[in-house]
Amino acid sequence: MFTIITGAQFGDEGKGKVVDLMAGDYDIVARFQGGDNAGHTVKVKDEVYKLHLIPSGFLLDSRVLIGPGTVLNPEVMVEEIRMLEEAGVQVSAKKLGIDGKTSIIMPYHIELDGLREASRPEKIGTTKRGIGFAYIDKIARDEVHFSDLIDEKRLMQRLSDLASQKEEEIKAMGGDPTIVTESSLVERYISLGRKLAPYLADVSYEINTALDEGRSVLAEGAQGSHLDVIHGTQKFVTSSSTIAGSACAYLGVGPTRVNEVLAIVKSYITRVGAGPLPTEQEGDAGQHLHDVGHEFGTTTGRSRRCGWFDMPLAKKSVYLNGYTSIALTKLDVLTGLDPVKICVGYELDGKVIDYPPEDTSKLARCVPVYEDMDGWDTDLSSVVGYEDLPQKAREYVKRLENLMGVPVKYISVGPGREQTFMK
Ligand code: GDP
Ligand code: IMO
Ligand code: MG
């Protein structure tokens, strides 16, 4: 069984929570793209884990893997392992594997990300974790691999090969190039490499052999479909491909092996950073979604922008990912809003359309066309079954399901594991 999970909107849909919940049914959980720009919150009883790199299946028995399509900051990784071990979760080499071809995020990537963002007349609002610049180096074949990091000689050679080029890049952007040749840098990275060396793995081989032996694998996406570097709302996107097909490419698994593609869909929409968000609400409804949904970024602490459910964007997500089912999260947050609005189309240049224009600047000009649904007042946080939802909440779920044309399989009504049920 090979299942892919991706966020269907702009990230923060609740992927961490759903992956934690499903991990019990999978032998392996593998992250396939992104880096510590992701922030996934997993709540189990009173414990809250906020993780950026380690796949959200870490709490159960599954083996967790970091695939070669990710970009990994070893300082963040070591800190996450330390934090988990302090909380009593052992992260042994049996538990965690990191592919040798994973690109390492170096301090100069973070520096360049900050410098570039500062110099952009129109900001993207990146997380400043060096993600874009680490991917540039991956594509340019100028990266430090995980297998370089854990081999002292190779690491020293690699960094010396890259030093002058990186210094030039930083100087050209008006930064301080000494960060590249700082005397403690090599020592620090050798030490990080030593700590992480036991986790070396061949992720594609492990996943394919597991599937051959009838074991199950869950591919965990980070970010969301509209932040995809190719199909998202350029230039306001992240630097990796976030859609389901890329799980195959990034992990090295053939598309014929995929059984299920699960969408994580928030019952409304949020976005961190800049870029169009046609249904954004700045008045009372937006404040309600923000406050009740605690919409603050896990990685940067920034306030998330909030808006009504955007069906044209959701339809595009269905096409981009080929979803077989949906986990609908944060339905509880809509309690108390009346009406609850669904954006079913946009008005653009005098025409009504029901699918987003491909051009981001056109999307920014789209004016939402709403359908009003009746709201409900009942607190949903302790609802344990679909039939126990108020009628109006069920109508909302059914309407979303019909318009997206994909069955809703799970509904989430709170951050806890128990606050989830099958439809
Ligand atoms: P991810 O990036 O997709 O993993 O999502 P985040 O973890 O960044 O953000 C989702 C937030 O919503 C987290 O704080 C979760 O604990 C919380 N959450 C997840 N599902 C629900 C839900 O159904 N209801 C409520 N109220 N909170 C939820
Ligand atoms: P999870 O996995 C929400 C956004 C940033 C910015 C853009 C580019 O928690 O859903 P980057 O640092 O990646 O170059 O920033 O992408 N972004 C996210 N927004 N959730 C995320 O991850 C995000 N990861 C990146 O805010 O707009
Ligand atoms: Mg998040």
Give the Å distance between the CA of 15 and the centre of ligand 3: 8
Mean pLDDT score across all residues of the chain: 96
40, 226, 231, 288: which is the annotated catalytic residue?
Answer: 40
Summarised one tens digit per residue, pLDDT across range 365-402 is 999 999 999 999 999 999 999 999 999 999 999 999 99
Q: Tokens 């974790």 correspond to what residue?
A: 129
Residue 276 has phi, psi (to 5 degrees) of -65, 140
Summarised one tens digit per residue, pLDDT across range 176-220 is 999 998 888 999 999 999 999 999 999 999 999 999 999 999 999
pTM above 0.95, yes or no: yes
142 has catalytic annotation: no
Summarised one tens digit per residue, pLDDT across range 294-307 is 999 888 888 999 99
Give the Å distance between the CA of 362 and the centre of ligand 2: 22
Whether the CB of 7 sits within 6 Å of ligand 2: yes
pLDDT surpassing 90 at residue 14: yes
pLDDT surpassing 90 at residue 243: yes
Give the Å distance between the CA of 420 and the centre of ligand 1: 12
Name the pLDDT band for 94 (thresholds 50, 70, 90): very high
Ligand closest to 294 (CA) is 1
Whether 272 contacts 302, CB under 8 Å: yes
Counting residues of the chain whose pLDDT is more than 90, the rounded percentage is 95
Query: Looking at residue 367, what is its pLDDT?
Result: 98
Query: Looking at residue 163, what is its pLDDT?
Result: 95
Ligand closest to 15 (CA) is 1
Query: Looking at residue 111, what is its pLDDT?
Result: 97
Query: Looking at residue 301, what is its pLDDT?
Result: 86
Query: Looking at residue 222, what is its pLDDT?
Result: 97
Ligand closest to 16 (CA) is 1
- Among 20, 41, 49, 264, the mutation site with the greatest number of ligand 1 atoms within 8 A of its Cβ is 41
301: left (phi over 0), alpha (psi -120 to 50) or beta: left
Summarised one tens digit per residue, pLDDT across range 126-172 is 999 999 999 999 999 999 999 999 999 999 999 999 999 999 999 99
Query: Looking at residue 154, what is its pLDDT?
Result: 97
Whether 91 contacts 58, CB under 8 Å: yes
Which ligand 1 atom minimizes the distance to the CA of 43?
A: 16
CA distances from 278 to 42, 170, 347, 358 (A): 29, 36, 11, 14
Q: Helices 391-404 & 311-321, crossing angle to 10 degrees?
A: 50
